[in-house]
């Protein structure tokens, strides 16, 4: 039985990932603020250590998979907290659990990025650079001066770049651990509903083009995550898999 950790397990995409993996016969260790095997707040160092230590206590000496799914949306008033959870919380869990993955069976990790990461202005600016440099104080200061959409998208851009940069490294691919990411579009989750209910963000979300029509379902993203965790994606390393109904292809059709 494979043992897989899922952060953000209590709702939305994280809950759908847990359901999918359990249906496949995996043992899932959920991490969230509530209703989880390990309760922890990934917005600060203490919470991240609590999450890692809690998983170690339940998993033992090895893990077969990690899904870094916990995240905050652009409607959250604290822009710095968006970055703290979406980037620093995710990368801390991935790095902290990597030694256990190295002892696992066909180990793989998946981070949840976003298709918004590649369409926000300022993608090569200071916030993503501060994230990737590991300077959380600077990143949070920069985020505090941004609008929610930019803070969210740039945190997810930095996370995708972390995956791309780390995946081929000696302590990931070199240790037999595959690291990839999924970039969802608008998926009907409680997090998205909060955005839809927001007077500022709701109209923008509804107006975002989705060629396949309508919002995605959490189960569709869970299927993409399960693929990247499984044997059928054994040659994927540093992949960012878009699951967004065609939005990225419509907006950036000539990227290749």
SS (HEC) of the chain: CCEEEEECCCCHHHHHHHHHHHHCCCEEEEEECCCCCEECCCCCHHHHHHHHHHHHHHHCCCCCEEEECCCCCCCCCCHHHHHHHHHHHHHHHHHHHHHHHCCCCCCEEEEECCHHHHCCCCCCCHHHHHHHCCCHHHHHHHHHCCCHHHHHHHHHHHHHHHHHHHCCCCCCHHHCCEEEEEEECCECCHHHHHHHHCCCHHHHHHHCCCCCCCCECHHHHHHHHHHHHCHHHCCCCCCEEEECCCHHHHHCCCCC
Calpha distance 183→119 (Å, rounded): 12
End-to-end CA separation in angstroms for the chain: 39
Selecting among 87, 152, 242, 256, the annotated active-site residue is 152
Calpha distance 132→129 (Å, rounded): 5
Whether residue 256 lies in the annotated active site: no
Task: Please list the active-site residues.
Answer: 152
């Amino acid at each position: 039985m494979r043992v897989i950790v899922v952060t953000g397990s209590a709702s939305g995409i994280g809950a759908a990932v847990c359901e999918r993996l359990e249906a496949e016969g995996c043992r899932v260790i959920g991490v969230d603020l509530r209703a989880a095997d390990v309760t922890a707040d990934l917005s600060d160092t203490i919470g991240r250590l609590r999450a890692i230590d809690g998983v170690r206590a339940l998993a033992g000496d090895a893990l077969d998979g990690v899904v870094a799914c916990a995240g905050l949306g652009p409607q959250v008033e604290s822009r710095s907290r968006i970055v703290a959870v979406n980037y620093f919380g995710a990368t801390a869990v991935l790095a902290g659990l990597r030694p256990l993955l190295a002892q696992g069976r066909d180990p793989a990790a998946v981070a949840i990025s976003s298709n918004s990461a590649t369409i926000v202005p300022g993608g090569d600016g200071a916030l993503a650079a501060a994230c990737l440099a590991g300077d959380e104080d600077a990143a949070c200061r920069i985020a505090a001066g941004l609008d929610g959409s930019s803070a969210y998208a740039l945190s997810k851009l930095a996370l995708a770049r972390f995956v791309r940069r780390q995946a081929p490294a000696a302590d990931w691919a070199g240790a037999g651990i595959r690291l990839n990411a999924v970039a969802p579009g608008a998926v009907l989750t409680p997090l998205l509903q909060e955005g839809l209910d927001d007077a500022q963000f709701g109209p923008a979300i509804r107006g975002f083009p989705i060629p396949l029509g309508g919002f995605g379902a959490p189960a569709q993203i869970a299927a993409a995550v399960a693929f990247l965790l499984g044997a059928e994606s054994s040659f994927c390393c540093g992949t960012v898999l878009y699951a967004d109904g065609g939005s990225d292809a419509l907006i950036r059709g000539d990227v290749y």
